[in-house]
Amino acid sequence: MSKILDTTPRADGFRMPAEWEPHIGCWMLWPERSDNWRGGAKPAQHAFAAVAAAIAQGEPVTVCVSPAQYLVARAMLDPTVRVVEMTSNDSWIRDCGPTFLVNDQGAVRGVDWKFNAWGGLAGGLYFPWDQDDLVGEKVIELERDDRYAPDFILEGGSIDVDGEGAVLVTEECLLNPNRNPDKTRIEIEQLLRDYLGVEAVLWLEHGVYLDETDGHVDNMCRFVAPGEVILTWTDDPTDPQYPRSTAALERLSRYRDARGRPLRVHKLVQPKPVVITPEEAAGVDHVAGTLPREPGDRMAASYVNFYIANTVVVAPSFDDPQDGPALELLAQLFPTRRILAVPAREILLGGGNIHCITQQEPLGRGPAATARPG
Ligand code: KQY
């Protein structure tokens, strides 16, 4: 069993590194539930396999899969991808998985947050979520790392750090009473400082319009370098995303990071609205307790939901005229990495995107770092 630490990362000198810092690899979960993924999850499985293969060009990938799906996943995934059996309720490891931390000596530890499927019985997306809640602990234990286990509900997609003391979050999510109703804003800020090793908590009001996570920041605004963020954007004042993005820009232009730097904001224009077709909606099983999918529903499509691997950036594409400009901007912002686009509609139809289905593990310099090739 991984050792549970009753101190805090901050007290122990640990911090969450930025996503662009070196990784030992990336973790994913395999989709299979037919009440979230259409067509018995088969189209989503192909999309997840494409994401895994793209990331595997830049770092080792591990995909965790249920016993029932092991052979299917093994056959569909690139041979370089490691497949391990693990039970889960769905496949959003960004949110139910661990947050990995490092210290200056290169040791790695994990934070095993509490998970309630984005709101529990007050607006959560499915029931139960008990197996998802075990994923963080299981992954940390597989890596033989020690873990912190705060009594705090938090999803990895609701935070984004620069590795130099700043974290981006949204009020829509972290202050939502369906997460930690007993905690004040001040207490939540302190928990972020203590468990991520940050100083500056940069609050945006909202995430992306109709994001079913209650506004995860990883779909809205991310750090791309120290002192630089990328923000999903529209110039159309009639689009409901417009007031959200303009309000975020206003706050970002006032903020300073933990080192006192103003933030340079890169606008990443969103694709045209992506709505569910009747055929797509009909392919999803209706199950009480799971958020239904209706024809005409708009999904929270954003290019901001990309994954930064060691030598590549894997970004969603939507078969939209904005795909090209979005990928070009990412290429400018990550000049040492190849930008790989993966068609992401099938992932989006499940409620998230590429960043939501991935979780990086930092390289560190401890036993895990030397146990297998990087
Ligand atoms: O986007 C995410 N981080 C997760 C979305 C969960 C959707 C469940 N239907």
Q: Tell me the DSSP string of 155-212.
A: -GGG-EE-SSSEEEEEHHHHT-TTT-TT--HHHHHHHHHHHH--SEEEEES--STT-T
Ligand 1 binding pocket includes 124 (Cβ within 6 Å): no
- Measured in Å, residue 118 CA sits from the centre of ligand 1 at 8
Residue 297 pLDDT greater than 60, yes or no: yes
Ligand 1 centroid distance, CA of 91 (Å)? 9
Q: How far is the CA of 248 from the centre of ligand 1 (A)?
A: 22
Complete DSSP assignment for 307-328: EE-SSEEEEEE-SSTTHHHHHH
pLDDT tens, position by position, 241-286:
999 999 999 999 999 999 999 999 999 999 999 999 999 999 999 9
Atom of ligand 1 nearest to the CA of 155: 3
Note the pLDDT of residue 133.
98
Q: Place 239 in a pLDDT band, splitting at 50, 70 and 90.
A: very high
Establish whether residue 207 lines the binding site of ligand 1, counting it when its CB lies within 6 angstroms of any ligand atom: no
Q: Which domains does the chain have, with CATH numbers?
A: 8-362 (3.75.10.10)
Cα separation of 93 and 359, whole Å?
6
Phi and psi based region of residue 161 (left: phi greater than 0; alpha: psi -120 to 50; beta: remaining): beta
Looking at the chain, the whole-number percentage of residues with pLDDT higher than 70 is 98
Residue 30 alpha carbon to ligand 1 centre in Å: 14
pLDDT digits (tens, 9 = 90+) for 184-232: 999 999 999 999 999 999 999 999 999 999 999 999 999 999 999 999 9
Q: What whole-number distance in Å separates Cα of residue 197 and Cα of residue 366?
A: 19
Taking 80 as the threshold, does the pLDDT of residue 366 lie above it?
A: no
Distance CA 94, CA 127 (A): 18
Alpha carbon dihedral 221, 227, 228, 233, in 10-degree steps, equals 40
| Closest approach atom of ligand 1 to CA 216 | 3
- What whole-number distance in Å separates Cα of residue 262 and Cα of residue 227? 6
Predicted confidence (pLDDT) per residue in 148-189, tens digit: 999 999 999 999 999 999 999 999 999 999 999 999 999 999
For 123-154, how does the pLDDT look when each residue is reduced to its tens digit (9 = 90+)? 999 999 999 999 999 999 999 999 999 999 99
Q: What is the pLDDT at residue 10?
A: 98
CA 202 to centroid of chain Cα atoms: 18
Question: Which residues fall within 8 angstroms of residue 141, CB to CB, at 6 or more apart?
Answer: 1, 2, 147
Nearest 5°: phi and psi at 235? -95, 0
Residue 372 predicted with pLDDT over 80: no
- Does the model's pTM come out above 0.95? yes
Average pLDDT, the chain: 96
What's the whole-number mean pLDDT along residues 34-55?
98
Ligand 1: residue of 29, 37, 92, 357 to mutate (most ligand atoms within 8 A of CB) is 92
Query: In the structure, what pLDDT confidence band is assigned to residue 338 with cuts at 50, 70 and 90?
Result: very high
Asked if residue 213 has its Cβ within 6 Å of ligand 1, the reply is yes
Residue 374: the pLDDT is 39
- Percent residues over pLDDT 90 in the chain: 96
Catalytic site includes residue 356: yes
Nearest CA to ligand 1 atom 4: 352
Residue 373 is predicted with a pLDDT of 43
Hey, is 9 helix, strand or coil? helix
Q: Is the pLDDT of residue 38 over 90?
A: yes
Cis ω before 240 (30° cut-off from 0): no
User: How, if at all, do strands 312-317 and 338-343 pair?
Assistant: parallel
Scanning the structure block, which residue is given the tokens 């970002």?
Answer: 252
